[in-house]
Chain A
Amino acid sequence: MKIGFIGLGIMGRPIALNLIKGGHQVTVWARRAESMQPLLDAGAKGAASPAEAARGNELVISMVADAPDVAEVMRGVASAGESGLVAVDMSTIAPAAARRIGEDLAAAGIDFIDAPVSGGEVGAIAGTLSIMAGGSDAAFAKAKPAFECMGKNIVHVGASGAGQVAKAANQIVTGMGVLAVAEAFAFAAKNGVDSAKVREALLGGFAYSKILENHGQRMLDRNFKPGFKSWMHEKDLNIVMQTAHELGLCLPGSAATAQMFNAMVGSGLGEEDSIAVLKLLESLSGQA
């Protein structure tokens, strides 16, 4: 399939590479020209603009930072006048923003899918991302061969915006999950008990989770290198809290968690992995 790809950062680059490996003809565009080079070396064509990345293609995919960036590149895509095109955005943005972008593209005859991912850089490189898609059945069917090159767990969640709703839900569970494991370890340590042993014991029971296993181990190793930077988790939880505010939805646990991540950004831990919330807990309770 002929695919345009926009945004070649930590996530976008390996995803685009996997599309090339999957045998697709890929045209790339990125704001910084130097980030296009590895893809050109791998056989991609370069485009001079988002519009050019869309032109003549069946599918165009974006992976950028925030809703205004998505809206901007999709305006470029719409200006290519490629009706019948399917546009896919894999960035994490607010569900309401995704729905608006979908409506704008529909007006230009372009079908839109919001398809945020979970699994991080590791998952992007390995082609094992979880992909949560929102949009029409026809558009999803068209994009599916591309999704299969980059992910394992591919779920068509529902209509436009539904993928972002699932991603926001994912960030609620992972945000609170990381905080829960950190609190459990702080609790053990303050009681003079070995957190490593606690983790080992808990892994066999109902508290088992991937977060306890993977993030928990990194907490024990005090390896705070990202991974997933805490400022990005803060940004995602802000999407959750703003959406909850607009809908009149009471989410006390998410609210408390969002404030912990807010404090991490404010105290200079923003560039560290989200598991550095453990450090914040330790300093609050005089354990540092």
Chain B
Amino acid sequence: MRVGFIGLGVMGRPMALHLQRAGHELAVWARRPESIGDLPARVCATPAELGRCCEVVFTVITSSADVEAVALGREGLCEGMAAGSVLIDCSTIAPDTARQVGTRLAEKGIHMLDAPVSGGAQGAIDATLAIMVGGEAEVLERVRPLLNCLGKRIVHVGPNGAGQVAKACNQMIMVAAIEAAAEAMRLVTASGVDCAKVRQALAGGSAASRVLDVMGERMVRRDFSAGIEARLHHKDFGLVLEAARQSGVPVPLAAVVDQQLNALMAQGWGRDDTSSLLRVLEKL
């Protein structure tokens, strides 16, 4: 199948390569052509041109505005994609934007799935991403073989936007857990106890978690180089709080965690791992 790909960053590039290795013909467009590098792919001049030559297009880009521009803007995908073709947006954006873009594309008969992922750069490289999908079930079934090249757990969450809701919840839980781990580590150190031992002890009990495992380890080693760039979690928390506000749902813990992320950004640690939340506590 001819598959289009937009967004060749730390997540997108390994994902695109998996599709290519699985025997699909790859076409790409990039805002900065140098980011394409030596990727074996047909290079298109505009998203519209990419859309014209592909049955399925993936996007993995940063912000709601970027997705809107690439999908609906001038020379955007919707000017090129044929009726019946599918846009799979793996970016993390606002559920509202996902719904709006889906509706606009549907007017031209183009299908859209919001399919944000969790698992980080390592998950993208290992093709073990968790993929949370919003959109029509039969459209998902059509493209499931492609998603199987990228991830292990592919869940149809609900209609358009539902994938992004799931991703927002993923970020809420994950970053709150990082903050909890950081606070625990801070308390342990202040009490004159060895963090590594505590982490080891906790790993066997009810507080065990992937976050305590991975981020806790980074905190113990004081290795704050990325991992997951904290600025992306900060961006996602903007989406989480806006979604909560629109629904009139109070999220007191997420709101406080967002303030810790604001402090993290102010310290200039946005490109470090989110385990830097420990360093924010040490500043207080």
Contact = CB atoms under 8 A, between A and B. Distances in A.
B259 A251 contact: yes
Interface in B206-243: 234, 237-238, 241
Given A241-B255, A245-B258, 6 more contacts: A245-B238, A247-B266, A248-B265, A262-B249, A266-B247, A266-B249
A260 interface: yes
Given A256-B255, A256-B256, A248 B245 contact: no
Given A241-B241, A255-B255, A255-B258, A248 B263 contact: yes
Interface string B144-159: 0000000000000000
A83 to B, nearest CB: 33
Contact of B248 (A247, A250, A255, A265): A265
Counting chain A residues whose Cβ lies within 8 A of the other chain, the interface size class is: 20 to 34
Interface of A: 234, 238, 241-242, 244-245, 247-252, 255-256, 258-260, 262-263, 265-267, 270
Contacts of B265: 248
Contacts of B263: 248, 250
A27 to B, nearest CB: 37
B262 A266 contact: no
Contact of A262 (B237, B238, B250, B259): B250
A247 B259 CA distance: 11
Contacts of A256: 252, 255-256
A238 B264 CA distance: 20
A277 to B, nearest CB: 12
Nearest to A254: B259
B262 A248 contact: yes
22 contacts: A241-B241, A244-B259, A244-B262, A245-B234, A245-B262, A248-B263, A248-B264, A249-B266, A250-B263, A250-B266, A251-B259, A252-B259, A256-B255, A256-B256, A259-B251, A260-B250, A262-B244, A262-B245, A262-B250, A266-B247, A266-B250, A270-B248
A171 to B, nearest CB: 15
Contacts of B255: 241, 255-256, 258-259
Nearest to B247: A266
Interface of B: 234, 237-238, 241, 244-245, 247-252, 255-256, 258-260, 262-266
A270 B244 CA distance: 15
A39 to B, nearest CB: 35
Contacts of B234: 245
Contacts of A234: 245
Nearest to A261: B250
Contacts of A255: 255-256, 258-259
Nearest to B254: A259
B156 to A, nearest CB: 28
Nearest to B280: A250
Contacts of B262: 244-245, 247-251
A252 B256 contact: yes
A266 B259 contact: no
Contacts of A252: 256, 259
Contacts of B250: 259-260, 262-263, 266
A233 to B, nearest CB: 13
B252 A248 contact: no
A262 B258 contact: no
Given A245-B238, A251-B259, A262 B266 contact: no
B179 to A, nearest CB: 12
A248 B260 CA distance: 9
A265 B250 CA distance: 10
Nearest to A238: B245
B153 to A, nearest CB: 31
A262 B258 CA distance: 16
Given A245-B238, A249-B266, A250-B266, A266 B256 contact: no
A245 B264 CA distance: 11
B245 A263 contact: no
B252 A250 contact: no
B199 to A, nearest CB: 26
Contacts of A238: 245
Contacts of A251: 259, 262
A256 B238 CA distance: 15
B237 to A, nearest CB: 8
A265 B246 CA distance: 10
A251 B252 CA distance: 13
Contacts of A241: 241, 255, 258
Contacts of B252: 256, 259
A250 B244 contact: no
A267 B248 contact: yes
A49 to B, nearest CB: 30
A188 B28 CA distance: 65
Contacts of A244: 259, 262
A234 B256 CA distance: 17
A249 B266 CA distance: 7
Contacts of B259: 244, 250-252, 255
